[in-house]
């Protein structure tokens, strides 16, 4: 009898562990409105975000004659974009809104950058 109780307890503990691990997994979601190609072009700066449906994409920025291209992984949650550039473990968090067909992104200083959809 003790043996069966011990087995039942071990199965129960294993079940609880699986439930806890499943609950802790990060569910990545993608706002379908963000998917696409977006361009910011002001004051000598050209920046292009490409957000794919699968949570991958790229970022290209050109300032004067210098261009930098980065691959990215992203997801959205509660009005924020969470972006990892070039498989870097650090995640950048940007507040965003979709308004009048534009992607409004707020930089770390709270300045609004207007990205227009590229068709």
- Domains of the chain (ranges plus CATH)? 39-118 (2.40.128.360)
- pLDDT by residue (tens digit) across 53-110? 999 999 999 998 899 999 999 999 999 999 999 999 899 999 999 999 999 999 878 8
Euclidean distance between CA atoms 88 and 110, whole angstroms? 24
pTM for this prediction: 0.75
60 to 17, 19, 65: CA distances (angstroms): 43, 41, 13
- pLDDT by residue (tens digit) across 27-59? 579 999 999 999 999 989 999 999 999 999 999
């Amino acid at each position: 009898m003790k043996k069966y109780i011990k087995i039942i307890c071990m199965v129960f503990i294993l079940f609880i562990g699986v439930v806890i691990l499943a609950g802790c997994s990060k569910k990545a979601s993608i706002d379908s409105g963000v998917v696409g190609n977006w361009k910011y072009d002001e004051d000598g700066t050209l920046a292009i975000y490409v957000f794919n449906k699968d949570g991958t994409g790229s970022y290209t920025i050109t300032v004067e004659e210098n261009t930098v291209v980065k691959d990215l992984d992203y997801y959205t949650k509660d009005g924020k974009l969470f972006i990892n550039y070039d498989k870097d473990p650090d995640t950048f968090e940007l507040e965003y809104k979709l308004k009048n067909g534009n992607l409004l992104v707020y930089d770390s200083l709270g300045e609004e950058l207007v990205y227009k959809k590229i068709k």
